[in-house]
Amino acid sequence: MNQQHVLGIDIGGSGIKGAIVDLQSGEFVGERFRIPTPEESTPVNVAGVVAQIVEHFAAELGDGPIGVTFPAIVQHGVTLSAANVDKSWINAPAQQILTEHVGRPVALVNDADAAGLAEVKYGAAKDVDGLVIITTLGTGIGTALVHNGVLIPNSELGHIEIDGHDAESQAAASAKTRDGLSLSEYIPRLQRYYETLEALLVPDLIVVGGGISKKADKFLPKLTLRTPIVAAELRNQAGIVGAAWIAANS
Ligand code: BGC
């Protein structure tokens, strides 16, 4: 295997996606491969699907680690939370389960941490000094804190309490859909969320990812913040790219 080429896998609520990433450019080498997330998405069932994805790319892989993202707190390979996923992940030795199923080393990382690092290494926050907060607006709100290129993992700032609510329950993209909001009705919730992050952490740059960031030009200019706020650049590739980068660099 070319050591520049590493497999990244993104475990999401509806699909598990993998691709080989060229770490020089941060781009995919060949096609992405996706399998739907099993209905009963326990660690063992998901690990079985991850193994199928690894098998799909086996001919292109060496012995090095692969990177895998998961949408929960991941500390030293153990998943500690399960905000929008099967509760059986809480306290599961997930990295070990995955390693056993795929038969090679796995670096397991929070999904937003992976996406955030990808934006810092290859995307919207490339070469930005100081504190960058990368947020993903989706089913939940994922966040990554990166200071001078170094990730501070598991920031979980989607769950800060704002006006008596878990922030993601109001400001995630899923809350917009759930409450039937137009973009202009949703913008005040984003304003409230990002002004709170800004007041708490005084970042140098905020990056906004997740599917809704495709429409970033329609809502980012309407936010009133001191901090520059920009759309993510790697779109739905960020998790896979960041996972591969972390596998090669941890
Ligand atoms: C979880 C985070 C995750 C985010 C995005 C939140 O509900 O707590 O761990 O990064 O959703 O998937």
Contact by Cβ (8 Å): 68, 30:
no
Atom number, ligand 1, closest to the C-alpha of residue 83: 7
Contact by Cβ (8 Å): 62, 96:
no
62 C-alpha vs ligand 1 centroid, how far in Å?
Answer: 31
Site to substitute for ligand 1 among 75, 87, 156, 169, most atoms within 8 A of C-beta: 156
Please tell me if the CB atom of residue 79 comes closer than 6 angstroms to any atom of ligand 1: no
Kindly state whether residues 28 and 99 are assigned to the same domain: yes
Q: Is residue 38 part of a domain?
A: yes
Site to substitute for ligand 1 among 110, 143, 212, most atoms within 8 A of C-beta: 110
Q: pTM for this structure?
A: 0.97
CATH of the domain at 71: 3.30.420.40
71 confidence band (pLDDT: 50, 70, 90): very high
pLDDT 10s digits, 77-121: 999 999 999 999 999 999 999 999 999 999 999 999 999 999 999
Q: Is residue 146 part of a domain?
A: yes
Kindly state whether residues 194 and 137 are assigned to the same domain: yes
| Element containing residue 151 per DSSP (H, E) | strand 150-152
Kindly state whether residues 87 and 143 are assigned to the same domain: no
Kindly state whether residues 148 and 217 are assigned to the same domain: yes
- Tell me the residue range of the domain where 228 lies: 125-232
Q: Is residue 148 part of a domain?
A: yes
Q: Is residue 156 part of a domain?
A: yes
Structure tokens at 2: 């070319």
* Dist CA 51 CA 243 (whole Å): 16
Please give the average per-residue pLDDT across 123-144, as a whole number: 97
Kindly state whether residues 144 and 88 are assigned to the same domain: no
Please tell me if the CB atom of residue 169 comes closer than 6 angstroms to any atom of ligand 1: no
Question: Using CA positions, which residue lies closest to atom 6 of ligand 1?
Answer: 140
Kindly state whether residues 182 and 146 are assigned to the same domain: yes
pLDDT 10s digits, 203-223: 999 999 999 999 999 999 999
Counting the structural domains of the chain, the total is 2
Q: Is residue 181 part of a domain?
A: yes
Q: Is residue 238 part of a domain?
A: no
Please tell me if the CB atom of residue 116 comes closer than 6 angstroms to any atom of ligand 1: no
Kindly state whether residues 69 and 135 are assigned to the same domain: no
Q: Is residue 117 part of a domain?
A: no
Kindly state whether residues 140 and 94 are assigned to the same domain: no
Task: Report the alpha-carbon angle 231-235-236, nearest 5.
Answer: 150
DSSP category for residue 68 = E
Kindly state whether residues 106 and 149 are assigned to the same domain: no
**Best CA proximity match to 53, nearest among 244, 250, 249, 229:** 244
Place of tokens 């799909």: 56
31 C-alpha vs ligand 1 centroid, how far in Å?
Answer: 26
Of 110, 136, 154, which one is at a domain's C-terminal end? 110
Kindly state whether residues 14 and 80 are assigned to the same domain: yes
Kindly state whether residues 180 and 133 are assigned to the same domain: yes
144 C-alpha vs ligand 1 centroid, how far in Å?
Answer: 10
Please give the average per-residue pLDDT across 58-87, as a whole number: 95
Of 53, 86, 110, which one is at a domain's C-terminal end? 110
Q: Is residue 223 part of a domain?
A: yes
Percent of the chain predicted with pLDDT > 70: 99
Of 81, 110, 139, which one is at a domain's C-terminal end? 110
Kindly state whether residues 24 and 94 are assigned to the same domain: yes
Contact by Cβ (8 Å): 230, 205:
yes
Site to substitute for ligand 1 among 139, 151, 155, 170, most atoms within 8 A of C-beta: 139
3 pLDDT higher than 80: no
Please tell me if the CB atom of residue 136 comes closer than 6 angstroms to any atom of ligand 1: yes
